[in-house]
Structure 1
Amino acid sequence: MSAPVPTDLLGQMYADWIAEMTKYPDMSLGLLRIVFEDWARATTEPTEVSYEETSFGGVPGILVMPRDSDPKQMVVLMHGGGFALGSSATHRKLAGHLAKAMGTYAFVADFRLAPETRFPGQLHDGVAIIDALVADGYDMRDITLVGDSAGANLALGMVQMLKQQGKALPGQVITMSPWLNMENNGETLVTNNDTDFLIAPEGLQGNIDRYLDDPALWTDPLANPLYAEYAGFPRLYICASPQESLWDNATRLDELARAAGVDVTFSAGDGMQHVYPLLAGREPRADEEIALIADWYRAGRAHR
């Protein structure tokens, strides 16, 4: 039986990255970060969206401003990349497609990366952004946290940190292909190994070791949202592919949140790769996911 082959640009990119990392196993973190900047190539440039480099709460990033969107509705996007890779540049176009569809602005955060900054520094950066938005007059109900992969982990952890600090919570949270399990186990890490062209346990462990300097933190609820308490959590949207190695992270989050009474919507992108909304503008299923998220967002605002 022949091995699966990538069928879309994102899968091809992931396969190429892994081939290079396998060819050069001693690739430095600096070079690896350059490789992952290629993520931006997956997403087309959205029309009628402008960008501005700015900062909130001392955290730099890119402000995404779609034409005719409401600047008082703000998406805060925490990018993926295993806490150590990725940037506002890799995700600004995704944020552009998403904010344009939702009718909002967006801020793509360049939070501090590991291992130069370890847990919980990234969460403090995220909360500093939220605090700054509130100080600028934003209503928390108009703030949406978005995170993909490790960024989803951060978005969920930011809500937990806000709860611990006794602060109001954002109106909604959107997670894409969430990576939550810092114990680095799970059935689909094995069963989906051949259909996921990016994720492997060895790579995940390298990122865990960069982010968490003590194995005791692997089950800390702020670092591993599978150990968190979800009672009182905001509306939650989860999307993931049944073919990706982190599929069971998404399904376990769904189960935990529903059991706590959270309003959860789960969307499965069958046949897609890790963080498939990055194919916005290029792949119909990615565009469909963006539209589904926007519909979900507007429906929630209409009923609050």
Structure 2
Amino acid sequence: MQKLIPPVLRGTIKPAFNPRLPLGLRRRWLELTSRAMLAPRDCRYEATTLGGRPAERVRAHAQLNRSVILYLHGGGYFMGSPRTHRAITGRLARLTGATVYVPEYRLAPEHAYPAQLQDALAAYRALLDHGVAAECIAVAGDSAGGHLALSLLLALREIGLPQPAAAVLLSPWADAGLDGESVERIGARDPMLTPKWARLTGADFRGGVEADDPRVHLLAADLTGLPPLRIEVGSNEILLSDAEGLCEAAEAVGVEVSFRRWDGYWHVFQVHAGLLRAAAESLEGIAAWLRERWA
């Protein structure tokens, strides 16, 4: 299965990242193709609101605990939704017993930075306002959602709100200029992303913010005081350097980091947990790590 999935991704998911196609078509394409990802059926996916934005609440039918995961979906900041990531959010709900909230934050290019950060911050504030203790919250995100999750942690520190117990970053984007060594080295071998698409999307997301601004170029940000981080990345993706750079930067300022590089795997391969043993193993390990942090 590990060898079969990348060619399928090139023919199905990768076209959704083609900047030459109309944006509306790319968004619908991703929504349709994501239905092939096997979302757990023993979970409830409920429409709700969080922080003034539409959101999805994901809960397993089994016994729930007090823990909450605020999951920020990927999609380059210009597509994706709670529905496209149910293969991950459903399994995290099932494996941890937590309630998972997935806000439908505003997308670029209609809404440039900092709209997405404002929505994520409003969602986190809403959890606190609803009586969820910060030590019971974990923040998680993949790809651009990983960038947003880390941006949220930095914003919480700056405004003095309590940090969550932990954060999980899957294949996180961190280098706003996409200048990492892996971008060109892996390039065309990445079965999902292309450097050209990633740079164009990053420019649309940033709006008038320069690529080297620490607010968006998170490898240049001061990560002091952040909660424990779990970072996972595939060896066959252009964002490998971003994940490795974040790990080094966080450890350099004393942040606890659990890092895993999955050799032979691709961008956010965890969405294939219903088909791929390594994807299921990754989410099982993340769930166990989160339970330790909540404890």
TM-fit CA distance, 1:122: 0.3
Q: Is the 8 A contact 1:10 1:42 kept in 2?
A: no
Q: Does 1:200 pair with 2:217?
A: no
Aligned equivalent of 1:190, options 184, 191, 196? 184
Q: What is the match of residue 125 of structure 2?
A: 131
Question: Any stretches of 5+ residues in structure 1 without a counterpart?
Answer: 1-5
- What amino acid is aligned across from residue 237 of structure 1 in structure 2? R
Identity level (%)? 32
Match runs of 1:61-100 below 5 Å: 61-70=55-64, 72-100=66-94
Q: Does 1:214 pair with 2:208?
A: yes
Distance 1:67 1:114 in 2: 35
Question: Any stretches of 5+ residues in structure 2 without a counterpart?
Answer: none
Q: What is the match of residue 236 of structure 2?
A: 243
Distance 1:134 1:264 in 2: 25
Specify whether residues 99 and 277 from structure 1 end up closer, same or farther in structure 2 by C-alpha distance, changes over 3 A only. Answer: same
Q: Is the 8 A contact 1:140 1:168 kept in 2?
A: yes
Q: What is the match of residue 9 of structure 1?
A: 5
Deviations 1:127-162 (A, max 9, x none): 100111101000011111111000000000001111
Distance 1:301 1:11 in 2: 39
Deviations 1:249-281 (A, max 9, x none): 000000001111111101122111100111112
- What amino acid is aligned across from residue 178 of structure 2 in structure 1? N
Q: Does 1:36 pair with 2:63?
A: no
TM-score between the two structures when normalised by the length of structure 1: 0.91
TM-fit CA distance, 1:163: 1.0
Specify whether residues 111 and 215 from structure 1 end up closer, same or farther in structure 2 by C-alpha distance, changes over 3 A only. Answer: closer
- What amino acid is aligned across from residue 116 of structure 2 in structure 1? Q
Specify whether residues 262 and 20 from structure 1 end up closer, same or farther in structure 2 by C-alpha distance, changes over 3 A only. Answer: closer
Specify whether residues 171 and 248 from structure 1 end up closer, same or farther in structure 2 by C-alpha distance, changes over 3 A only. Answer: same
Q: What is the match of residue 283 of structure 2?
A: 290
Distance 2:17 2:247 in 1: 33
Q: Say which SS state the counterpart of residue 90 (structure 2) adopts.
A: helix
Distance 2:115 2:39 in 1: 31
Match runs of 1:95-174 below 5 Å: 95-174=89-168
Specify whether residues 58 and 172 from structure 1 end up closer, same or farther in structure 2 by C-alpha distance, changes over 3 A only. Answer: same
Match runs of 1:201-280 below 5 Å: 201-214=195-208, 216=210, 218-280=211-273
Q: Say which SS state the counterpart of residue 282 (structure 1) adopts.
A: coil
Q: Is the 8 A contact 1:15 1:198 kept in 2?
A: no
Q: Say which SS state the counterpart of residue 185 (structure 1) adopts.
A: coil
Q: Say which SS state the counterpart of residue 193 (structure 1) adopts.
A: helix
Q: Say which SS state the counterpart of residue 146 (structure 1) adopts.
A: strand
Q: Say which SS state the counterpart of residue 109 (structure 2) adopts.
A: coil
Q: Is the 8 A contact 1:153 1:180 kept in 2?
A: yes
TM-fit CA distance, 1:39: 4.9
Specify whether residues 113 and 130 from structure 1 end up closer, same or farther in structure 2 by C-alpha distance, changes over 3 A only. Answer: same
Deviations 1:203-262 (A, max 9, x none): 01221121112252x122221211111111101000001111110100000000111111
Q: Say which SS state the counterpart of residue 267 (structure 1) adopts.
A: strand
TM-fit CA distance, 1:300: 2.2
